[in-house]
């Protein structure tokens, strides 16, 4: 019997069947009535029971949000740099990085790096930039666009913000621009950012403020209609951050609907420190 026909599945195999990370799958397991058995500390799943459960429509919304996100960025990757010039230009990273520059010689992470917008600027000062993204297509564009010199500093890594492939206490700073509103579980990702930061390390986030343009969910694969600042503050506090500041960035993200409506959504920056 080949692997694709195996009836009894481990947690990893069941997650693959759902095409989500094991963390996302564990959340489904906690919150929904997924058919599962626990043997000692190990989860076991029946392929047939899982496929029947999916076919009954139980998990479709949750799983498809993650898949839609990947499909959207695979589709826009070749033109993303052009789109970005119209969305938010170059000013945003200058504002952000001049306010919170990496120390020379430091190791930093750019989560949801896309085509390497922040990573490129960070590589001018940092010793190592771990640039991670869930979309292989976006990373491929980054790999083609970045110079050989930049690629000596920037490590392009495929991975999920909810489950980062970095050691605890390994990064001096963690940056993420316009990532949170694409995530299924921003609080879980923020806990990951905290985990991988060294003591006294700083998180630097930027994203769009809360808005009511519902079409961004369908047309731009946004999961959140911007981020509510009070909610973000709670996520940062819950993760353990201190010295939290959330502030106006002084720039907007411009985006257009298929029906031809163009809107400008104001952006915020946020920071916090992992205390000693």
Ligand X SMILES: C[S@@+](CC[C@H](N)C(=O)[O-])C[C@H]1O[C@@H](n2cnc3c(N)ncnc32)[C@H](O)[C@@H]1O
Query: Contact positions toward ligand X, by CB under 6 A?
Result: 69, 73, 84, 112-114, 117-118, 133-135, 138, 160-162, 177-179, 182-183
Q: Which is nearer to ligand X, 50 or 77 (CB)?
A: 77
Question: Which residue's Cβ has the minimum distance to ligand X?
Answer: 114
Per the CB < 8 A criterion, the answer to whether 131 and 110 are in contact is yes
Q: Which is nearer to ligand X, 133 or 172 (CB)?
A: 133
Distances (CA, A) of 77 to 85, 238, 253: 14, 34, 18
CB of 217 to ligand X, least distance (A): 14
CB of 152 to ligand X, least distance (A): 21
Q: Which is nearer to ligand X, 53 or 194 (CB)?
A: 194
Six-digit token pair at 177?
A: 């621009």
Distances (CA, A) of 76 to 69, 71, 131: 11, 9, 19
CB of 200 to ligand X, least distance (A): 24
Q: Which is nearer to ligand X, 128 or 205 (CB)?
A: 205
Query: What does the CA dihedral 261, 265, 229, 194 come to, rounded to 10 degrees?
Result: 110
CB of 179 to ligand X, least distance (A): 5
């Amino acid at each position: 019997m080949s692997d694709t026909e195996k009836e009894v599945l481990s947690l990893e195999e069941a997650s693959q069947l759902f095409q989500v990370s094991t963390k996302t799958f564990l959340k489904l397991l906690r919150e929904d009535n997924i058919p599962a058995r626990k043997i000692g500390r190990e989860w076991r799943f029946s392929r047939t029971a899982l496929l029947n459960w999916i076919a009954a429509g139980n998990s479709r919304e949750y799983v498809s949000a993650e898949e839609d996100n990947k499909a959207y960025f695979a589709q826009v990757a070749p033109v993303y740099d052009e789109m970005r010039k119209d969305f938010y230009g170059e000013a945003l990273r200058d504002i952000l990085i001049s306010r919170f520059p990496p120390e020379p010689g430091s190791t930093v992470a750019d989560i949801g790096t896309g085509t390497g917008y922040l990573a490129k600027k960070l590589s001018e000062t940092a010793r190592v930039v771990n640039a991670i993204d869930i979309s292989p297509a976006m990373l491929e564009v980054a790999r083609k666009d970045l110079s050989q010199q930049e690629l000596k500093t920037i490590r392009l890594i495929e991975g999920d913000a909810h489950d980062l492939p970095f050691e605890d206490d390994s990064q001096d700073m963690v940056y993420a621009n316009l990532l949170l509103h694409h995530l299924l579980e921003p609080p879980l990702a923020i806990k990951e950012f905290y985990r991988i930061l060294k003591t006294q390390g700083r998180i630097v986030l930027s994203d769009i403020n809360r808005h009511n343009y519902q079409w961004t969910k369908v047309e731009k694969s946004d999961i959140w209609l911007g981020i509510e600042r009070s909610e973000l503050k709670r996520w940062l506090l819950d993760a353990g951050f201190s010295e939290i500041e959330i502030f106006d960035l002084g720039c907007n993200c411009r985006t257009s609907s298929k029906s031809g409506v163009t809107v400008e959504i104001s952006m915020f920056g946020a920071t916090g420190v992992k205390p000693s």
